[in-house]
């Protein structure tokens, strides 16, 4: 009889299945609350948080969209997120290539320095960062916000790129150099297409971190027309009353672009995790 059908083998798998079911519940339950609360009034949410709404009317979505000017806020968030992702990918790939492919005496020390950048919380330097942004006239600017996010995400991105690039065979570069290719042609024409899982991992993690961030837009953005989505959602939260139905509707709207990006890049992320290139 196959071991897969043996009762002892099934029993040994039971703790793993229980853990997976518990984790699924932890993930699915907040999503369920978010979806059903989008269609409820605040009173319904307080009376029965887990129950279904009395009607599936899109009123909360329509009101939230117009009251918080979510259209403009989504455009602002999109500009900041796309700018941060593109610049982070470009700069990090160009920095990781020589650190991982060339024999540099200071290469290991430089990678260690970037690891320190991952471990240190940037919010500890908020006052100094605010002063620097003011000196550079980058306050109340989407470009300034992009610069901050790029500086924050570069250490993580370089760490990911360097570990993926380090395991590639050097024959790829040697063959390209024999054909007359220079370093930039090798990087963008050969190396980066091979490490697409790393690009996907860096892109999705950077996009999620930037899109959902509330802290830095709060301290660097003052103009209502330049606010990002997380800042706009706070307009429904008052000192004495919070319209939770609109809060959940705005959260659902803000979740859609990131969810779509993840679905597009999910296959590359799974390939990257399965390849074992992140930790070598």
Residue 121 has pLDDT above 60, yes or no: yes
- 64: helix, strand or coil: helix
Distance of CA 224 to the CA centre of its chain: 24
This prediction has a pTM of 0.81
Angle at 84 between CA 206 and CA 207, to 5 degrees: 30
Cα–Cα distance for residue pair 55/171, rounded to 1 Å: 63
Decide which of 1.10.3720.10, 1.10.150.20, 3.40.190.10, 2.60.40.1120 is the CATH code for 68-275.
Answer: 1.10.3720.10
Percent of the chain with pLDDT over 70: 91
Spans of all domains in the chain:
3-37, 68-275
DSSP state of 240: S
What confidence score (pLDDT) does residue 148 get? 93
Q: For residue 114, give the nearest of 51, 162, 179 by alpha carbon.
A: 162
- Four-residue CA torsion sign, 250, 228, 201, 86: positive
Residue 81 has pLDDT above 90, yes or no: yes
Beta strands in 2-157 (DSSP E): none
Residue 278 has pLDDT above 50, yes or no: no
What confidence score (pLDDT) does residue 237 get? 76
Cα–Cα distance for residue pair 173/46, rounded to 1 Å: 62
What are the tens digits of pLDDT across the range 174-211?
A: 888 888 888 888 888 888 888 888 898 899 889 999 99
């Amino acid at each position: 009889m196959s071991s897969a059908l043996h009762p002892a083998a099934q029993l040994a798998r039971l703790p793993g299945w229980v853990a997976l079911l518990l984790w699924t519940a932890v993930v699915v339950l907040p999503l369920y609350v978010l979806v059903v609360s989008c269609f409820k009034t605040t009173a319904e949410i307080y009376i029965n948080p887990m129950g279904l709404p009395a009607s599936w009317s899109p009123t909360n979505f329509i009101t939230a969209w117009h009251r918080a000017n979510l259209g403009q806020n989504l455009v602002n968030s999109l500009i900041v997120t796309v700018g941060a992702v593109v610049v982070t990918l470009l700069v990090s790939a160009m920095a990781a290539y020589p650190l991982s492919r060339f024999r540099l005496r200071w290469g290991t020390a430089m990678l260690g320095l970037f690891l320190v950048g991952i471990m240190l919380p940037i919010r500890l330097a908020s006052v100094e960062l605010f002063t620097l942004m003011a000196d550079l006239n980058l306050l109340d600017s989407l470009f300034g916000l992009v610069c901050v996010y790029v500086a924050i995400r570069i250490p993580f991105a370089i760490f990911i790129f360097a570990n993926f690039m380090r395991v590639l065979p050097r024959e790829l570069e040697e063959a390209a150099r024999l054909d007359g290719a220079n370093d930039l042609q090798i990087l963008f024409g050969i190396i980066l297409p091979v490490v697409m899982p790393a690009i996907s991992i860096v892109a999705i993690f950077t996009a999620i971190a930037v899109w959902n961030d509330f802290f830095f837009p709060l301290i660097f953005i003052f103009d209502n027309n330049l606010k990002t989505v997380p800042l706009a959602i706070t307009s429904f939260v008052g000192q004495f009353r919070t319209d939770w139905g609109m809060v959940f509707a705005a959260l659902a709207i803000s979740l859609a672009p990131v969810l779509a990006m993840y679905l597009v890049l999910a296959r590359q992320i799974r390939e990257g995790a399965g390849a074992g290139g992140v930790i070598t």
